A and B are shown apart, each in its own frame.
Chain A
Amino acid sequence: MSQNILKTLAAIGAAFAMSAGSADAQTYPTRAVTVIVPFAAGGPTDVIARIVGEAMGKTLGQQFIIENVAGAGGTTGIAKGAAATADGYTIMMGHMGTHGAAPALYKNIKYKPDQDFEPIGIAAGTPIVIVGRNNYPAKTLQELVAKLKADGDKANEGHAGVGSVSFTTCTMFNVMAGAKPARVPYTGTGPVINDMLADKLDYACDQIVSVASQVRAGTIRGYAIATDKRSPALPDVPTTTEAGLPDYKVSAWNALFAPKGTPKDVVAKLTDALDKALSDAATRKRLEDLGGVIPEGKERGGAHLASFVKIEMDRWDKAFKAGGVMPN
């Protein structure tokens, strides 16, 4: 008797599970979509995910819920996202770190950035700015590079911890500038800026959104921005091309990925919604206020993202080898 009841219950449960699990692309989405953000709430990736998610939710008629799963330079959250049910109801905001630098930085990474995902598209990048304390003798990027080459071992560079954007991007900068500074680790961008304002640190590399207000206020010096074009958020800061280090082009890009095996038409719907979001005037303004760079034309969509991930993985692998950073 009781066995029969159990069997019936199991069958009902299975039926419900089936109906909930099957992603019917025609009607997708029928409930809220979870976006895993692999960093703590409030950071640049989180903010971009929230802005883009809100616009995509309007297009698709369902709420996009942000779930922050921070840890191990973002790889914890992405590993969790990669293992989620591939029905389009769990997607994730990948990042220059999680899908570019991580394989060269961590030994035990549980996913392959170029194989375990269905790329949806790049959302926005935030360019890297090289900044320094106001009273550091070097006034331009060229002077900075010359000074770091001459007596770089006296210089102090601050970064937000191994695996952070400021760490990875400054590793590349140090390689290109031939600098060997003392690299002082902090637990976030805020304390780096704090100790730079207090004249303890000489220079750092970080995302524009983290440093723009200080540079505009004249409390720290902006040497150069690592993009092709100057940013409207910092019109007075030259590009690295103008400042004489044209090879240093780095942006902390953020891109949406779905787990491997998500139905093609569901991914297409998401790509389409992202595209609409990035063309929406209000969303664009919000992203640009942050100093964000929005992908245009052929830079959008999954195909471009797929090839971009491969290029980035290769690039960071080389940078870390040249900078003597060993994977952990």
Chain B
Amino acid sequence: MQNLLAGLLLIVIAAIAAWQASPLPMGTLRHIGPGMFPISLAGFIALIGVALMVTWARGERNSTGRWPLRGPLFILGSAVIFGLAVRPLGLAVAGPMLVIVAAFASHETRWVEIIAFAAGMTVFCLVLFKYLLSLPIPVAPWLIGY
């Protein structure tokens, strides 16, 4: 199963790349155009994809394991929320939001602990990044203007 899906994934990626690179001029071997590299890479990747599917057809039976959705959803979701929130709301809000949303990903979460941890981490990060390393990251623009 693993190699069947792996092969399929590679073929899909190659197809997307070929579609995106198709409007670009290929050039010639003597004068390579912008499209040459991506298109040839896509070709090779698709070939490997086919080869992987062949190994599956010949009897590869590795399991891909479980595919729980909870982890990816909350972990990656919390990062996206952080990205959206950090500019308008600042680290003071985006920081605790990230920690709390991410906490839904783990079933070991203890809520009182995580809220205290979110507050503590945010203060720690503000001191570390804003005041010690002076990165230009917004703190709380809606409250103090930066």
What is the minimal beta-carbon distance from B25 to any residue of chain A, in angstroms? Answer: 12
A17 interface residue per 8 A CB criterion: yes
Least CB separation from A87: chain B residue: B145
Chain B 126-146 near chain A by CB (<8 Å), digits 1 or 0: 000000000010000111111
State the total of A-B contacts with C-beta under 8 angstroms: 19
Closest Cβ neighbor of B140 among chain A residues: A16
Task: Contact check, B136 vs A20: say whether CB atoms are below 8 A apart.
Answer: no
Per DSSP, are chain B's interface residues mostly helix, strand or loop, or mixed? helix
- Distance between A222 CB and nearest chain B CB, rounded to angstroms: 31
Nearest chain A CB to B87's CB is how many angstroms away?
Answer: 11
Contact indicator A67/B136 (Cβ below 8 Å): yes
Closest to A12 in B: B143
Residues of A within 8 A of B146 (CB): 31-32
Q: Is B136 within 8 A of A17, CB to CB? A: no
Query: Which residue of B has the minimal Cβ distance to A17?
Result: B142
Q: How many residues of B contact A (CB 8 A)?
A: 7
**Given the complex, which residues of B lie within 8 Å of A34, measured CB to CB?**
136
* Any B CB within 8 A of the CB of A138: no
Q: When chains A and B are docked, how far (Å) is the Cα of A13 from the Cα of B144?
A: 10
The answer to whether A31 and B145 touch across the interface, beta carbons within 8 angstroms, is yes
Q: How far is the CA of A65 from the CA of B136 in the complex (A)?
A: 8
Which B74-103 residues have C-beta < 8 A from chain A? none
B142 touching A13 by the CB < 8 A rule? Answer: yes
The docked-state distance in angstroms from the alpha carbon of A21 to that of B88 is 13
Please give me the residue from chain A that is nearest to B144 by CB atom.
A20
Q: Which of B24-78 contact A (CB under 8 A)?
A: none
Q: What are the residues of chain A within 8 A of B141 when measuring CB–CB? A: 20
Chain A residues, CB < 8 A from B144: 16, 20
A-side contacts of B136, CB under 8 Å: 34, 65, 67
- How far in angstroms is the closest Cβ of chain A from B135? 10
Contact surface of A with B, Cβ cutoff 8 Å: 13, 16-17, 20-21, 31-32, 34, 65, 67, 89
Show the binding face of B for A, using Cβ within 8 Å.
136, 141-146
Instruction: Please name 19 pairs of A and B residues whose Cβ atoms are closer than 8 Å in the assembled complex, sorted by A.
Output: A13-B142, A13-B143, A16-B142, A16-B143, A16-B144, A17-B142, A20-B141, A20-B142, A20-B143, A20-B144, A20-B145, A21-B145, A31-B145, A31-B146, A32-B146, A34-B136, A65-B136, A67-B136, A89-B145
